[in-house]
Chains A and B, each alone.
Chain A
Amino acid sequence: MAGDKGKFMPFRSFSSQILKLLFLLFLSSALALIFNALRPSGIPLVENWEEKMAAKELPEGIRKVEFHDAVEYFSQGHALFVDARDETFYRLSHIQGALNLPVRDFDVMYPLLKDKLDFDRFIIVYCDGSHCEMSEELAARLIGEGYGQVGVYTGGIEEWMERGMPVSTGDDS
């Protein structure tokens, strides 16, 4: 009968499959590392991401708002916080009092919210956390609409919640 060979050696067959699996993983790793070493656009094997992210500069015209500044603006109530994420995430939690202007739907949403976006108020845009581009994109769009005072709170909702600052859920804009 075909395939009868090896029927009584389940362990041997099992370990040979494990070896093949390890071989596949090993070969992938080796090819990945060799390819990365040879290509001009290779990346370092280990990188200090914390530093890299902190060093990231915002484009000209956009102010970087650190946590303590954000808290101060929040407590004084002078600035307007704007959440750049999609509505679903805004509804889950957002900085108390923040407006939702999803950057993805900017063309539709901006005209609707225009009245609430005061030209002479400092607008602080935020999104998830230290690295999401949405807040930066939204800030650029707002500057394009003629807003002069736009900042990005780079810590985002993630840092805000971690530090126990007030958030709201649902729709309050």
Chain B
Amino acid sequence: VNQPLRERLRLWTQRILRYLLGVTFIYASLDKIAHPDQFALAVYNYRLLPDALVNGVALILPWVELLTGASLLLGFFELPALFIVNGLMLIFIGAVSFNLARGMNINCGCFSTDPAAKGDLAFVLLRDLVLLAMGFLALILYPRRGSSPKHAP
């Protein structure tokens, strides 16, 4: 069956976005899993969570990123993974904005837990917005049931 070009373009765009997000999320998880104590400090410095939740979030969040990334790359549980990606990006954007608004120059803990790796929070916010846009696009381009075959030939 000859699929319309538009449909194929849509499928491939969605697929590429999915792979990019998958790789990004897996990459982001690795340093945090390797250094839980330092990532916990980064989480604490955001000043958004009660102390009792800091370590739990610091432990679990990187694994959510890892599994979500793997889901997107391998193409299983793709839709829930996309929802998690968008949800996480919204949370990250909120957390970064909050600290930016307070004039805090914290280590974002996004890709590196090294406390010396302080970047510009405004740049972090911009990067997060781009990732959210990618996640949102991947979600709306997700092949709908009954509208077209799920996989491109």
CA distance A134 to B53 in the complex (A): 26
Most buried by A among B33, B40, B51, B103: B103
Chain B 125-153 per-residue mask, 1 if CB under 8 angstroms from chain A, else 0: 00000000000000000000111111000
Question: By the criterion of a CB under 8 Å from any partner CB, how many residues of chain B are at the interface?
Answer: 42
CA distance A97 to B16 in the complex (A): 53
Q: Is A21 an interface residue (CB 8 A)?
A: yes
CA distance A49 to B77 in the complex (A): 36
Closest to B39 in A: A43
B149 touches A49 (CB 8 A): no
**How many residue pairs bridge A and B at CB < 8 Å?**
112
Interchain nearest-CB distance for B34 vs A (Å): 9
Q: Is B60 an interface residue (CB 8 A)?
A: yes
Stretch at the interface among A1-9, A69-77, A105-113, A145-153: A1-9
Contact A44 B55, CB 8 Å, known A21-B83, A25-B64, A28-B60: yes
B77 touches A3 (CB 8 A): no
Chain B 28-59 per-residue mask, 1 if CB under 8 angstroms from chain A, else 0: 00000100110011001100000110111011
A25 touches B84 (CB 8 A): yes
Chain B contact residues, majority secondary structure: helix
Contact A24 B37, CB 8 Å, known A49-B51, A127-B105, A132-B45: no
A-side interface size class: 35 or more
B63 touches A157 (CB 8 A): no
Closest to A10 in B: B145
A85 touches B105 (CB 8 A): yes
Chain B 68-109 per-residue mask, 1 if CB under 8 angstroms from chain A, else 0: 100100000101110110000000000000000011111000
A132 touches B105 (CB 8 A): yes
Q: Is B62 an interface residue (CB 8 A)?
A: yes
Chain A 27-61 per-residue mask, 1 if CB under 8 angstroms from chain B, else 0: 11101110110000111111111100100000000
Q: Is B66 an interface residue (CB 8 A)?
A: yes
